[in-house]
Amino acid sequence: ETGVTQSPTHLIKTRGQQVTLRCSSQSGHNTVSWYQQALGQGPQFIFQYYREEENGRGNFPPRFSGLQFPNYSSELNVNALELDDSALYLCASSLGLAGSSYEQYFGPGTRLTVT
């Protein structure tokens, strides 16, 4: 167990709907990253938050947005869901951005199915 929790575990949504996924980081960690992992693929970086500010973003459209709260927990919001958004969504937390502080610890993930 890494101490990173995610909710919900599974979710089924309809195309066009909106979804919010939640992540609680490991105690003492101020950095949260979100990833999308399709079956048989490596995790794809969506974005990262450091001390409540977006600090890096991958090649995802603006309908993927996020927040980090003062307690460093985080949300991932996806609007106008598409069938291709069906995937495992992973949250990872780390101590910071430099060197070994960047070791990321993953939560168990949220399995999103869009029908």
Partner 1 sequence: QKEVEQNSGPLSVPEGAIASLNCTYSDRGSQSFFWYRQYSGKSPELIMFIYSNGDKEDGRFTAQLNKASQYVSLLIRDSQPSDSATYLCAVILNTGGFKTIFGAGTRLFVKA
Nearer to partner 1, 75 or 96 (CB): 96
- By CB under 8 A, name the binding residues for partner 1: 2, 33, 35, 40-45, 48, 50, 54-58, 88, 90, 97, 99-100, 102-109
User: CB of 87: closest distance to partner 1 in angstroms?
Assistant: 13
Nearer to partner 1, 1 or 14 (CB): 1
User: DSSP for the chain?
Assistant: --S-EEE-SEEEE-TT--EEEEEEPPTT--EEEEEEE-TTS--EEEEEEETTEEEEE-S--TTEEEEE-TTS-EEEEE-S--GGG-EEEEEEEES-SSGGGG--EE---EEEEE-
Nearer to partner 1, 14 or 99 (CB): 99
